[in-house]
Structure 1
Amino acid sequence: MVDTYQYLISISFKHNYFRDGNFKTLQVSFDESTQRLLKKLGLIVKPYHGGVHFLIQDPELLFSSPESKSLRLFLECNDPLYINYSSLPEYSPTHTVLYFNNLNPVHNTDNSTFLLHSEKNVGKKDVFRISGGKIVFKTYKEGGRYHFEDSLGNDISNLVEIKRIGSDWHLLSGQYNGAIHILTNGEESERIYANPKLVWRKPLAIVELYLPTLYKNFKQEEKLEYFLNFHIVKTKWKYIIVSPLYKDLKSPTILNGKKTPVFESLPKKENDEKVYHTFQSIDELPLLEYSEDFYSLYTNENSLPVIKALPRASPEQLFYDDDKKTMYSHIYI
């Protein structure tokens, strides 16, 4: 007898940096407990560029699963530059992880899909500090009322110990593995993802799919899709002309394809001995893998461009101003 499978769900990773909109450099892996659960449930995983499909033999097995049972997906990016072209406020590649679950997906009524984050794009609400056994309790104050919950809202205070080590207060999570929401005087003050291992290969993101909720969403939709939407970084572009070929240009300017000025000329600084002209974008411009927009260098002496298509900004080089508020892309000509 041939086993028959039916479509269960797709999880799509979207990123508007990429030309096709798919965050195709993300890869999915599973821990040992999830691999065992996949086998037990008869689930088949089919990754593709920009997401993953799940097929199942008997969806009713999801319904009969305990409330706390979940599939845990680890998302890793094989492009180290993702941090430069992805807008991830408060995210640190070494100290935090992005965490998502399907307990409260946001229903997009336009196309019957669900977002796994509360905002339009992945943002600071999805950032969790990581713990390898212990973590500094940043918001601890003596006399405060502290309460610890997992993602389901269950009280896990008995699994967490507060202890002073040196000058800092720490959370000791023992063998607990998962998200911890810290409530201070009834309000959430910190989000932590605890892992009992002191050293572990931290992914970019963790997606936890609770099985009864997955079954409920599956029964409600003809084709169930969960989405993660990542947003681009925008920077101030700065064209720095250092080639002697363009030293004597008269009143140069940079225009877009519609002949609209998008850049302003900056006055030459005293220490810019080898810089002949500098232009800075009036507004921040997006970093994109590909765009049909282009910028040309003109002078007021000729209607034809001196350089028809200037090179675009790349995620490889980013610079901050002195107050760390504005990000720049330097492009040398």
Structure 2
Amino acid sequence: MAGSSHLPPGQQLGTGDIEVDVDIFDGDSAYAESTHQDDTQTLASEATKFKWEHGRRYHAYGNGEYWGPNDEKQLDAEDMVHQMFLTILRGRLFQAPIPEDPHRVLDVGCGTGIWTIDFADQYPSAEVIGVDLSPVQPQTIPPNCRFEIDDINKDWTWGENTFDFIHVRMLTGSIRDWDAFYQKCLKALRPGGWIEQVELSSHTKSDDGTITPDLPFKEWADVFLKLGEMTGQTFQICEEAKGWIEKAGFENVTENVIKLPIGPWAKDERLKEWGVWSRVYLSEALEGFALRGLTNHLGWSYEKTQIFLTQMRHSLRDPKLHGWVPLSVVDAQKPMA
């Protein structure tokens, strides 16, 4: 089973060279415009003392140093990327072969809670727990769903052999010790339980050579490589997750690396739709990804940061650039013994 794919039939799209749709480039402007419980109360009180930097709101729980904002703009982007992943996975919330009647499920770094809520709705047999640093989840939720505010880098309070499934998505740059993180996941899963991790790379590539080192995409990747080295929280987990998970002792480890186009330049209609989603998402999320890291850690001015982000958005909308980013989906199972 190791190395096999859990994707549904026909879901091997995004693995070979992507053919460019040459018929859509009637004009650059048309292309650019095509998309546009007691202790909990104490924790919640601390967690809602938000910080503001350069007009963006950040969480305050713990050391308050997580790179991403938690304001409405960022939350909208998180919900948008959820819809993008649903589109890519043909409406599925996950691809791991979990049982049809899971009992306890953990969504690590749940953000807005949209995946947690959707899973709870689809699987009423399960108690679904979403955990995050910020209390930004909705008040109205399914009865089998709950949210906890905690720092997953600290010791976990869930017992050994607790969960049937652990879902991890977009935690790049968020974990101080990935080896320890996966050991916690392994311990918290029941024997035979599954973990799934979904991550986007910061590296933009192309099949036809249109993504060159002189473009801002190269500096974007270099910036996050440097930020990971400075903070000790790598942004390269898309490329590294499979190896860490295997090292932790999981078995039946599989990885699907999908080429996610940026923009609707691909000829295949499904890839074109993926590209629309990714370009809109990246355009909206660029500032949230980079602002705090560039200004606080790399010492960039706010003005320099905004100029760089403008250059990035311009490149995202350039029809001559046929870029794609790797999207990694890793599934693994806790041994039965």
**TM-score band w.r.t. shorter chain:** under 0.3
TM-score computed with the length of structure 2 as normaliser: 0.23
Higher normalized strand content (fraction of residues): 1
Larger radius of gyration: 1
Higher relative contact order (CA 8 A, sep 6+): 2
Higher normalized helix content (fraction of residues): 2
